[in-house]
């Protein structure tokens, strides 16, 4: 990884653990001249960063890594540390990561935000199902390796004539996913929920010509499976049942 032998680049040790946006802000701190170096050598640097407040930054090589301190409210890998690492490397004539490296090596921005999720819960029937599919992975600081489930049961999208049997088969299909070896009650919960809702949306599109008696039978199947999902298949601690309920309710009203 070292871009130049002999001297250790501080930027190398921060870049893989810093968000892209934070890195860019750190670069701006440098170009705006907001860092004052108090002292540095090949082992450590002390500097002041002038932002909303004045922050003290200390970086130091320790073992194979870098120990970091900044008095700002951000817990770690803040823009001030990035700025100080850049200046430290610059002062030691170490080549800085170029634009491409910054793009490739920093942590990409999350695909969704908490406000996307809030929006989804506000109107579960119209929600963008991709948001609930990836919410647990994207919004929590840690994840477990888990199965990636299909977006929708294969049976329901087949061009067969719509029937109760087709719905039954689709339900068994979703149920079978929970027996996959990497199935995770919590981290797969959004995907199971999204697949159920997707199935209901497809049923609704084909609902028009369905006989009332068959409609009621299908709704009963969905109601029973809804409970199975909530109580046996997923960890519903995030309240995903709201999405299941809204989609079943919509079928009852049509």
Nearer Cβ to Zn ion (70/112) = 70
Q: Give the residue with the Cβ less far from Zn ion, 22 or 193.
A: 22
Contact 156, 171 (CB under 8 A): no
We find the least distance from the C-beta atom of residue 82 to Zn ion, in angstroms, to be 9
Residue with Cβ nearer Zn ion (44 or 168)? 44
CB atoms under 10 Å from CB of 107, counted, come to 15
> What tokens appear for 101 in the block?
């490296």
Specify whether the CB–CB gap between 44 and 84 falls below 8 A.
no
CB of 78 to Zn ion, least distance (A): 3
Nearest distance from residue 47's CB to Zn ion, in Å?
11
How many CB atoms are located within 10 Å of the residue 14 CB? 25
Question: Nearest approach, Cβ of 69 to Zn ion (angstroms)?
Answer: 9
DSSP helix/strand/coil, 236: coil
Find the shortest distance in angstroms from Cβ 84 to Zn ion.
9
Least distance from Zn ion to the Cβ atom of residue 22, Å = 10
Q: Which residues contact 104 (CB under 8 A, 6 or more apart)?
A: none
Nearest Cα to Cα of residue 207 among 164, 174, 168: 164
Sheet strands (E) in 85-195: none
57 neighbors 70 (Cβ within 8 angstroms): yes
Nearer to Zn ion, 8 or 80 (CB): 80
Neighbours of 86 (CB within 10 A): 24
Closest to 193 measured CA to CA, from 143, 247, 139: 247
Phi, psi of 46 (to 5 degrees): -120, 135
CB of 75 to Zn ion, least distance (A): 9
DSSP SS3 for 53: coil
Residues that bind Zn ion (CB under 5 A): 70, 72, 78, 80
């Amino acid at each position: 990884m070292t871009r130049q032998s002999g001297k250790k680049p501080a930027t190398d040790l921060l870049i893989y653990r810093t968000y892209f946006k934070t890195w860019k802000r750190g670069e701006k701190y440098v170009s705006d001249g907001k860092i004052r170096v108090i002292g540095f050598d090949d082992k450590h640097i002390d500097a002041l960063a002038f932002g909303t407040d004045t922050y003290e930054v200390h970086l130091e090589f320790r073992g194979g890594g870098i120990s970091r301190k900044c008095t700002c409210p951000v817990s770690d890998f803040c823009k001030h540390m990035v700025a100080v690492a850049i200046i430290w490397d610059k002062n030691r004539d170490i080549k800085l990561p170029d634009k491409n490296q910054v793009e490739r090596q920093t942590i990409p921005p999350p695909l969704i935000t908490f406000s996307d999720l809030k929006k989804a819960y506000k109107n579960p029937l119209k929600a963008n199902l991709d948001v609930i599919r990836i919410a647990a992975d994207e919004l929590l600081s840690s994840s477990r390796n888990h199965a990636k489930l299909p977006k929708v049961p294969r049976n329901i999208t087949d061009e067969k004539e719509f029937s109760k049997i087709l719905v039954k088969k689709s339900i068994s299909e979703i149920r079978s996913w929970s027996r996959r070896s990497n199935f995770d009650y919590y981290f797969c919960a959004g995907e199971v929920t999204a697949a159920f809702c997707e199935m209901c949306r497809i049923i609704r599109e084909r609902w028009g010509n369905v006989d009332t008696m068959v409609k009621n039978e299908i709704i009963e199947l969905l109601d029973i499976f809804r409970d199975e999902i909530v109580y046996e298949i997923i960890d519903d601690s995030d309240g995903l049942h709201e999405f299941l309920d809204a989609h079943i309710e919509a079928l009852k009203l049509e």
